[in-house]
Amino acid sequence: QVQLAESGGGLVQPGGSLRLTCAASGFNFRNYHMGWFRQAPGKEREFVGVSVRPGTGGGTYYKQSVEGRFTISRDNAKRTLTLQMNNLKPEDTAVYYCASSTAALSAIWQLQMYNFYGQGTQVTVSS
């Protein structure tokens, strides 16, 4: 059974940091791109960033508004994906989800190319 379990969310002041973790099981983790998405109240779920699977060259890509503040890393041996978020802003408030994909790199930012299995973790940035 495929499972993705997000954790690490919470309440943080603007300018603060959080580290989210996604624990994966039930599939061959290293064969998948692993992405982070978020959904704010009343808005559509959106792409945050992705860790490309090793077999496609690895690397990471980010939504422009988080580039330089967020960092994605993966540990294929431990089957975990992390999202380090620094200099958080109120507009980063959302439920954050991890998801898996085997999409072509040209489609790696597209929501519909991912499979979501987790419940997400709430991140609230507020003073």
Average pLDDT for residues 60-77, to the nearest whole number? 97
Place of tokens 């991912």: 114
> How far apart are the C-alpha atoms of 23 and 5, rounded to whole Å?
5
**What are the pLDDT digits (tens) for 82-126?**
999 999 999 999 999 999 999 999 999 999 999 998 899 999 999
Look at residue 42 in the predicted model and tell me its pLDDT.
95
Look at residue 92 in the predicted model and tell me its pLDDT.
98
Please provide residue 44's backbone torsions phi and psi, each rounded to the nearest 5 degrees.
Answer: -80, 155
**What are the pLDDT digits (tens) for 9-56?**
999 999 999 999 999 999 999 999 999 999 999 999 999 999 999 988
